[in-house]
């Protein structure tokens, strides 16, 4: 089996450490020239990456290219797409799985990277198309012959955050009269709030669990099934299963339809599989789903380019490595200047931190450097009136990734004081990027801005289904490239599993079953739950 390099094993590592002792000074007079801003610009599918406000030089970029080549980042990405088992720890028991989330959108290529997985995705999409046509033409309707207009999506983690963030991003394109609601938290108030006032007779329920045994999801499903029965409805005629083939949920007696997800697609990378497309298809229609998948597929193809200056997700990943490992920035703020993307940072938080929040390399040895950063963010311009104070004048070092669009999504805007609102939004975005980079001197120390806050900007034309697919795939590829660079397994989540085991043990103690540990009982007493 191939043993891949970590960045500390690369010849470029020491040279980058040396460059990091005196990084490019963005505050130096004349540092940010028009030539620099135009030179440090990378165009990819649907987006341009403007990185002139990063603390890099051509020398640093050349060294990052050497780092990418030595770690064989693009080669690993290519092998991942073609079905090599990448979800593994050498020499230790691990999941030993392929990583093929890209196969769920690899439908637009004459030669798909992994044909069997792509055929499986095509089969599920064909099933989805038939189902959506039946919902549209009345072949699937409620007991009174009325069309379904609502859908409740029940899932948790990757089965919720990604799909929810994409629905919120694209809800302006939803079919007339359609509404999607989400239940994820096992907190009963989450389900109660969604069910309150909802016409259940015209509601479908999509239950998403690969194993068919996810505790939080099944608990919420039971709550919703109970509500359906209390409304005099048959849950089997309202519930859809999105699950693994032959799982406990793959049961036609309990579900109207079943759509299959596969072990080679991890939850946090599953939004372009049926985990996301069943819900999106109901909300937006099949054609919009295909546009979304096409946007993601375009980025997957582009991510196989070897030149980092032409490979947008790879460049974004390596700039992140430079900031995190060489300039010692422990957190990344993802700041979309688009209200529609208000849940996208939350999805990236899970996708990135669950993937690369690891301290063990793929060879089983401890990492000698930091792996994944803390990821957070909120939309602008609201954030400007909240945490931007810390970004500008605080003591924490934060790497910043802005996302913006030249045009508004809905096209409903008007001129006020000589400019429209979208222009004001973009002006704020560009101003923040520059202000963070160059700072401002002042005799009054409280009014001084140090500058040199590294930031980049992903700029798109307008947020569409295709554009959203591309944005999602850019960040998925970025996360994967960074995991390869650190030589960690980005595709398991043992920390999540530990919490599930302990929760199960405490639930057994609550029921008075099994072997009860003294610590469990003491904790229950301390919490007033004995």
Q: Which of 35, 96, 176, 385 is catalytic?
A: 385
Is residue 370 flagged as an active site residue? no
Whole-angstrom distance, CA of residue 88 vs CA of residue 3: 11
Is residue 500 flagged as an active site residue? yes
Q: Which residues contact 408 (CB under 8 A, 6 or more apart)?
A: 421, 422, 462
Give the residue from 371, 276, 378, 285 showing the smallest Cα distance to 333. 378
Is residue 95 flagged as an active site residue? no
Q: Is 219 within 8 Å of 209 (Cβ atoms)? A: no
Whole-angstrom distance, CA of residue 455 vs CA of residue 55: 9
Q: Is 321 within 8 Å of 364 (Cβ atoms)? A: no
Residue 153 DSSP code: E
Q: Which of 46, 124, 216, 354 is catalytic?
A: 354
Could you give the C-alpha distances from 250 to 254, 256, 402, in angstroms and in order?
8, 10, 42
Q: Where are the alpha helices (DSSP H) in 308-403?
A: 312-321, 344-356, 388-393
Cβ contacts of 90-97, under 8 Å, gap ≥ 24: 90/1, 90/3, 90/362, 90/363, 90/364, 91/363, 91/364, 92/364, 94/489, 94/492, 95/491, 95/492, 97/263, 97/264, 97/491
- At CA 97, angle to CA 94 and CA 99, rounded to 5? 130
Could you give the C-alpha distances from 390 to 158, 386, 395, 448, 450, in angstroms and in order?
30, 9, 7, 13, 12
Give the residue from 374, 397, 379 showing the smallest Cα distance to 455. 397
Could you give the C-alpha distances from 520 to 255, 502, 507, 525, in angstroms and in order?
37, 9, 10, 9
Q: Is 319 within 8 Å of 51 (Cβ atoms)? A: yes
Q: Which of 119, 494, 500, 530 is catalytic?
A: 500
3-class DSSP assignment, residue 388: helix
Whole-angstrom distance, CA of residue 491 vs CA of residue 363: 15
Token pair of 399 as six digits: 């790497």
Q: Which active-site residues does the annotation give?
A: 354, 385, 500
């Amino acid at each position: 089996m191939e043993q891949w390099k970590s960045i500390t094993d690369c010849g470029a590592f020491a040279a980058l450490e040396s460059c990091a002792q005196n990084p490019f000074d963005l505050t130096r007079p004349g540092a940010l020239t028009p030539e620099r801003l135009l030179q440090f610009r990378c165009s990819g599918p649907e987006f341009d990456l403007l990185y002139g406000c990063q603390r890099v030089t051509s020398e640093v970029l050349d060294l990052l290219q050497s780092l990418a080549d030595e770690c064989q980042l693009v080669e690993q990405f290519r092998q991942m797409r073609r079905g090599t088992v990448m979800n593994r720890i050498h020499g230790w028991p691990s999941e030993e799985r392929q990583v093929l989330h890209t196969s769920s959108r690899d439908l637009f290529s004459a030669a798909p990277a992994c044909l069997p997985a792509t055929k499986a995705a095509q089969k599920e999409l064909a099933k989805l198309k038939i189902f959506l046509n039946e919902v549209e033409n009345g072949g699937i309707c409620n007991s009174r012959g009325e069309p379904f207009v609502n859908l409740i999506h029940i899932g948790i983690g990757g089965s919720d955050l990604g799909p929810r963030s994409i629905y919120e991003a694209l809800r302006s394109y939803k079919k007339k009269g359609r509404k999607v609601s989400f239940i994820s938290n096992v907190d009963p108030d989450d389900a109660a709030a969604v069910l309150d006032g909802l016409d259940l007779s015209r509601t479908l329920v999509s239950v998403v669990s690969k194993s068919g045994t996810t505790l939080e999801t099944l608990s919420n499903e039971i709550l919703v099934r109970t509500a359906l029965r209390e409304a005099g409805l048959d849950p089997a005629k309202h519930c859809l299963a999105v699950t693994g083939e032959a799982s406990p949920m793959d049961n036609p007696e309990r579900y109207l339809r079943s759509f299959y997800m596969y072990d080679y697609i991890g939850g946090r990378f599953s939004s372009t599989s049926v985990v996301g497309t069943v819900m999106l298809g109901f909300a937006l229609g099949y054609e919009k789903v295909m546009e979304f998948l096409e946007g993601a597929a375009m980025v997957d193809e582009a991510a196989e380019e070897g030149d980092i200056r032409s490979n947008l997700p790879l460049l974004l990943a390596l700039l992140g490595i430079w900031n995190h490992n060489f300039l010692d920035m422990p957190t990344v703020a993802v700041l979309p200047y688009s209200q529609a993307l208000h849940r996208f940072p939350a999805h990236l938080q899970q996708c990135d931190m669950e993937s690369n929040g690891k301290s063990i390399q793929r060879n089983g040895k401890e990492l000698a450097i930091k792996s994944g950063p803390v990821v957070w963010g909120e939309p602008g311009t609201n954030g400007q009136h909240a945490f931007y104070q810390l970004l500008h004048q605080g003591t924490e070092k934060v790497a910043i990734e802005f996302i913006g669009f030249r045009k508004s999504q809905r096209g409903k805007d008007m001129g006020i004081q000589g400019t429209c609102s979208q222009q004001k939004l973009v002006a704020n975005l560009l101003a923040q990027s520059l202000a963070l980079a160059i700072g401002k001197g002042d005799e009054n120390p409280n009014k001084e801005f140090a500058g040199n806050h590294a930031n980049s900007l992903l700029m798109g034309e307008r947020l569409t289904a295709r554009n959203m697919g591309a944005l999602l795939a850019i960040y998925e590829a970025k996360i994967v490239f960074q995991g390869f660079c650190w030589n960690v397994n980005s595709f398991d989540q043992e920390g999540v599993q530990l919490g599930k085991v302990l929760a199960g043990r405490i639930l057994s103690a609550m029921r008075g079953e099994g072997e009860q540990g003294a610590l469990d009982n003491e904790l229950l007493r301390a919490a007033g739950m004995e």
